[in-house]
Amino acid sequence: MPVGIDDLAIYVPKLYVDCNDFAKARGIDPHKLEYGIGIRKMAIVDVNQDPACMAANACLKLMEKNGLQPQDIGRMYVATESGLDESKAMNSFVIGMLEQVYGEGSFEHAGGIECKFACVSGSYALYDNANWIRAEENNGKAAVVIVSDIAKYDIGSTAEYTQGAGAVAMLIKENPRLLAFDQKVTSTIITNEYDFYRPFGKETPLVNGNYSNLLYLIQVRKAFDSYKEKALRYGLIDLKDGESITDHIDLISVHLPYGRMGEKALAYLLRHEWRNLPRWKEVIREVGIEEPTPRDPRGTIESILADTEFMKADEKFRKLFMQTALYHEAFEKKMASSLKASELIGNLYTASMYMGFRSSLEFEYKRGTDLNGKRVGFGSYGSGSSAMVFSGVIQPSYKEIVSAMNLEEEIGTRMKVSMDEYEGLHRGIGRGLFDSINHSNKEFVLIKIGGKLTKKAGLREYVYTT
């Protein structure tokens, strides 16, 4: 029984920072942000928004778009690393908001949890709910998986320009119109790492940037190797001599802390897949130098990063590799379209890969690509650290969904904020919940947070604005 993504909907907050303004304020070359990082605008939340109301807004859009009623939904999961409570799950906040529209108790049957494993948790939520439907535990009902996050870093930090906010809600059901997951090939890797983490009580993360980037590449590659072994074992893909398994994956969506990282991830994966194939001779001939190897045979992340001579040589090789005709062809066909939304929104943590998938569907369709039967490969990574690689096939009925996609219309009219306004919002000073910059209309917003000295400390109240 095919199970997968039937439809999806997005929510992006209506405020943004223009990266030219950001670059000027921080003394950065604007060219570096737009072309070196792959970001033009960073979405930011208003004072009356949080990950829960963004998740509820995305879910409401999904339900209204598909004419769904609460009785059609059997499960609701929210995956996030921007948790609001160390006990109360975010999906309960979301259900409470939705019941303002659909009626009290209307979602009481829709069980679920909040999933957390940094940016990979949405993929685990999809996997769990797809198997719930395959096991026929769903009693004919669909599942909703929502990924919602606020990517926030310290002002003045090197990661400050990789912020963003938004949510994606996905309808998971049997016989999906959009994408059916490939069975028996989903692969995961997990290890205990401190590449990126946020201790209790800290609003922004602690990041070991170079370590985290390299760990992302290595973990996704390991999960991909496991995926490849399963795909060949179960006959999902039949490799001919001289072929790479990437030749059988038409579109690739990966975790996107920033757009350029997606390009680097593709380059790393293709180097790994191609270096033992005949085409590698063509690559080396065009690059003009041999691929460097680390001096330390252990190949640990620590030893690689400590080998500064190798790191410098490898960076040079990577840049030259990404200029080759073979890489450029693969990038344009498989990934380029998935980066367009990231340029306009920024980092979405759990939602970044799925916003990328949404982006690739729209922009491939608009450039005339026949998506029917195309296989999409997903490379999901969450710091801490875990990676998941899986795939799915776009279904014949995809045009029902994709033909109506319009990213700018779905984002809606946005307001550019000044750097002073941005820093005030970032620090949480100067404005209360009722002093929002943007006037909300027909969406959920936060109106109250309980005081620290009351029995209702931390209580959060939301309202649907009209």
Closest CA to 167 of 74, 50, 19: 50
E-state strands within 53-116: 73-79, 114-115
Q: What is the mean pLDDT of residues 80-94?
A: 95
Q: What is the mean pLDDT of residues 384-395?
A: 98
Res 338: pLDDT: 98
For residue 381, pLDDT beyond 60? yes
Residue pLDDT, tens place only, 19-44: 999 999 999 999 999 989 999 999 99
* Position with higher pLDDT, 164 vs 209: 164
Res 422: pLDDT: 97
Tokens of 135: 């096991």
Residue pLDDT, tens place only, 280-294: 999 999 999 999 999
CA distance 377 to 326: 19
Q: How confident is the model at residue 452 (pLDDT cuts 50, 70, 90)?
A: low
Res 445: pLDDT: 97
Res 62: pLDDT: 98
- Phi, then psi, of 151 in degrees rounded to 5: -85, 115
Q: What is the mean pLDDT of residues 165-177?
A: 98
Do residues 250 and 333 touch, judged by C-beta distance below 8 A? yes
* Percentages of the chain per state (helix, strand, coil), in multiples of 5: 40, 20, 35
The proportion of the chain whose per-residue pLDDT surpasses 70, expressed as a percent, equals: 99
Mean per-residue pLDDT of the chain: 96
Q: Alpha helix (H) ranges present in 275-393?
A: 279-287, 301-306, 308-321, 325-334, 340-345, 352-366
User: H/E element holding 80?
Assistant: none
End-to-end CA distance of the chain: 41
For residue 251, pLDDT beyond 90? yes
Residue pLDDT, tens place only, 328-377: 999 999 999 999 999 999 999 999 999 999 999 999 999 999 999 999 99
Res 332: pLDDT: 97
Name beta bridge partners: 252. Answer: 377
Res 458: pLDDT: 80
Res 284: pLDDT: 98
- DSSP code per residue over 232-287: HHTTS--PPTT--GGGG--EEEE--SSHHHHHHHHHHHHHHHHTTSTHHHHHHHHH
Residue with tokens 């997990």: 190
CA distance 6 to 4: 6
Residue pLDDT, tens place only, 103-160: 999 999 999 999 999 999 999 999 999 999 999 999 999 999 999 999 999 999 999 9
- DSSP code per residue over 15-57: EEEEHHHHHHHHT--HHIIIIII--SEEEE--TT--HHHHHHH
CA distance 336 to 356: 10
Q: Report, as residue numbers or ranges, the catalytic residues.
A: 81, 119, 255
Res 455: pLDDT: 62
Res 292: pLDDT: 96
Tokens of 254: 């990966």
Closest CA to 223 of 245, 240, 250: 245
For residue 381, CA distances in Å to 224, 375, 394 come to 12, 20, 22
pTM: 0.96
CA distance 428 to 405: 34
